[in-house]
Structure 1
């Protein structure tokens, strides 16, 4: 790519501030970790770990992170830094063919659609944090009824708007002053909250029974379905296939070690998942509650435990603040993918692009906000609401497709992958082997399993 093209790309990515707006080394790692530590690790990972063999499943999850997560993540980061553009433009610049840019656009569209409903769920966490701190959450023990009443009203739209406003304000400030500064504040805060809540959970009477259920290995439960579940979660929890790591890679300095950054992000994701389990299971077992999965766990089951424990309103509030932080750091990275793309396509300044993208995303997300028991909750297609369909198509179809595009491009098409990834000759051969022969097969298995085409 020519010097002029590099400069033009830097100006676009820098939001019209003269170019050069990039992550610091620490800032990039924290932003990438912020993208990966989302709601899934809190309300899905503990459940599937307990279901599929505890520590045995956790071991398989670690292996899956190594063989599929880290290679694909490194490829995405390298494509972004090598192409110095959006998740679509980087493919075009590195290949010289618009077809690859079109395939990369699928990731841009996926991240946009995911953000449209992810902002809705993030809004729920903000609402429940307020309810918990004020004590209103515990004015009645009918937590299921309270949640149904809330999502059936128009209040989710208000909280969706609040999340969008926060996200837009962060992105409008730019890369170093916005995304990086935001994550430098929130990620340490998230770590502190995790430690506080883990200590509180482990000191509850009966907590060790939950720890035993979570971490005692039961290899008899390691079925083929369990392995595929571990593969899928390793892929999705690292925000792969969404164009995020490609977009963030475009803001990384050449001196940054991409392999070191990928390892740090994978380790951060792993520790977050572990600590999430050490919060959920000790708490639910201490109060004889049945661990659930998804929104039912955090908005219906866990409030029962918080209501029963000393200072439960405060610990409940801290828990929902933790969820809100995890959701917001992911939301920022999701919307930035679309912002980066539009800045290149329409050549607007960052502030204008961010606000217009945010408003469009808010409008697109309204059906999702109102379809989970709300004004359009009665609309169902094939047994799924609008919210469920957007989630299903993006998570189970578009993301695996995006991941497959990355593996094929880095493994077969892009000739300078080794130089950009910064790997030694030996490690490059291992990485290339994983991208060419292992990761594509595993990504296809994730797609076939998550869409229900194969099952056990």
Structure 2
């Protein structure tokens, strides 16, 4: 007889506070500290930030609640939960997009996380600041073989946490590191706000100039609101399967969204005062963190300390996300293949490592891996982030909005809030997610 999927109903579960901290940890990854500042700088500062908040409410929170509701209703992996609540096996194939997407993202996300650990060690030791050519330093590091070593460190730490289980590993890890993350954020924010000229950066970030908004910036804000909450990759859906029935999903959704927004706000109050104080172009793109900010840290008192704390902050944010990413395929393997947690973690981590090697080497060590004008890393990022995740989010909205008839019973909302949520899922979120997909895929351009 074929193996039957294993239910997660009687399995390890989060406590109420543990779930919210773990979900916030999944949401507040590198995107908010690495990507959010430079896209905010590129698309209008405070005006873009306000637009991001609107998009977070309009698209992020409704889809987040839908993912959590499907997860808790199905009590299964990101693939099987759709089948269990929808009653049609075809939905399992749709859910597999999230499992595949999480696996792919984990393979290259661990590489960037490794960069942050490497930079933290270099900053604390002072070696990062001995050579003022930070662009050259970054290029030399990423074009060699060292990133593979740091990728292994990240994967090993992530695997160790996930192998310890939901309450004994993921929850305990987030209960320690999320408060630690907040402490580091506050310390670095205070340091940034006391720099000479810092208030110019604060003004850029918090005083909107709506003339700078364009259709392009609106789509970028939509996309970041979607991705900053870890939507479409099965992480929130999988975490939802471990949530107790007594937990209010509506309140949890607001808490997670609020945590994500607070993190983005403090990140902006670190980055922009620092860039304005030292005359750094805050719109220069992904290199802002690894090539521009080290110059600022080198020029400030106790720069090694604050630079090290900054990159440790990035590393912690990355690890809280890698843990949630790895749990998605691990939960699927445990349920569908009937593997134990340790075996699932080891084999899937090994797979992520092998798939990640071409990405790690595509920055220069193995240029033959690049094709079609893109590095292998960029192709993986494009396929996962611009194709699989928006499609996964679109499936969630359509499933919860149209196909799951008893979705309201599981969501536990009042009649008024349920009607509003259902309206957003049916008529607003799918359209916005579709626009995000078309823009991310390069089909819509301005």
Both structures adopt the same fold (TM-score exceeding 0.5): yes
Deviates more, 1:68-77 or 1:379-388: 379-388
Q: Separation in 1 of the partners of 2:194 and 2:364?
A: 37
Q: How far, CA to CA, are the matches of 1:414 and 1:285 in structure 2?
A: 50
Change in 2 beyond 3 A, CA 1:359/1:293: farther
Distance in 2 (CA, whole Å) between partners of 1:87 and 1:294 is 33
CA contact (8 A) 1:400 1:444 kept: yes
Pair 1:123-2:114 in alignment: yes
The answer on 1:64 being equivalent to 2:55 is yes
* d(CA) in 2 for partners of 1:46, 1:215: 13
- Aligned match of 2:431: 441
Which of residues 316, 328, 332 is equivalent to 1:325?
Answer: 316
Give, in whole Å, the separation in 1 of the partners of 2:8 and 2:321.
24
Could you list the per-position Cα deviations for residues 258-313 of structure 1 after superposition, in whole angstroms to 9, with x for gaps in the alignment?
A: 01111011011111111111111111111111114554111110000011100000
Q: Structure 1 stretch 46-55 or stretch 213-222: which is displaced more?
A: 46-55
Partner of 1:422: 412
- Which residue is equivalent to 1:112? 103
In the alignment, does 2:80 pair up with 1:80? no
Cα 1:56–1:76 shift into 2, 3 Å:
same
Residue 107 of structure 1 deviates from its aligned partner by 0.6
1:44 aligns to what SS in structure 2? helix
Give the equivalent residue in structure 1 for 2:390.
400
Query: 1:163, 1:21 → 2: CA distance?
Result: 24
Cα offsets for 1:354-382 (capped at 9, x unmatched): 111111111111101111222x2343222
Q: Which moved more, 1:214-223 or 1:42-51?
A: 42-51
Match 1:267 to one of 258, 266, 284: 258
Could you say what the CA RMSD is over the residues aligned between the two structures, in angstroms? 1.3
The alpha carbon displacement at 1:139 in A equals 1.4
Tell me how far apart the structure 2 counterparts of residues 294 and 381 of structure 1 sit (CA, whole Å).
22
Deviations 1:31-72 (A, max 9, x none): 000001111111221222233332222221111111110000
TM-score by length of 2: 0.97
- The CA distance in 2 between the partners of 1:119 and 1:109, in whole Å, is 16
- Structure 1 unaligned blocks of 5 or more: 12-18
1:15 aligned partner: none
Partner of residue 44 from structure 1, selected from 35, 43, 61: 35
Q: Could you tell me how far apart the structure 2 residues matched to 1:134 and 1:67 are?
A: 44
Q: How does 1:92-171 map to 2 (within 5 A)?
A: 92-171=83-162
1:389 maps onto 2:373 in alignment: no
Instruction: Classify the secondary structure of the residue corresponding to 1:10.
Output: coil
TM superposition shift of 1:352 = 1.1
Matches of 1:159 and 1:429, distance apart in 2 = 48
1:228 Cα deviation after fit: 1.0
Please, which of 279, 288, 311 is the counterpart of residue 302 of structure 2? Answer: 311
CA shift at 1:10, angstroms? 2.8
- 2:47 match: secondary structure: helix
- The answer (yes or no) to whether the contact 2:177–2:316 under 8 Å persists in 1 is yes
Correspondences of 1:281-292 after superposition (within 5 Å): 281-292=272-283
TM-score between both structures, scaled by the size of structure 1: 0.95
2:163 to 163, 172, 192: 172
Show the counterpart of 1:195.
186
Decide whether the 8 Å contact of 2:38 with 2:288 is kept in 1.
no
Stretches of structure 2 that go unaligned for 5 or more consecutive residues are: none
2:121 aligned counterpart, secondary structure: helix
Q: Provide the residue aligned with 1:354 in structure 2.
A: 345
Q: Deviation above 3 Å: which 4+ runs of structure 1? A: 292-295
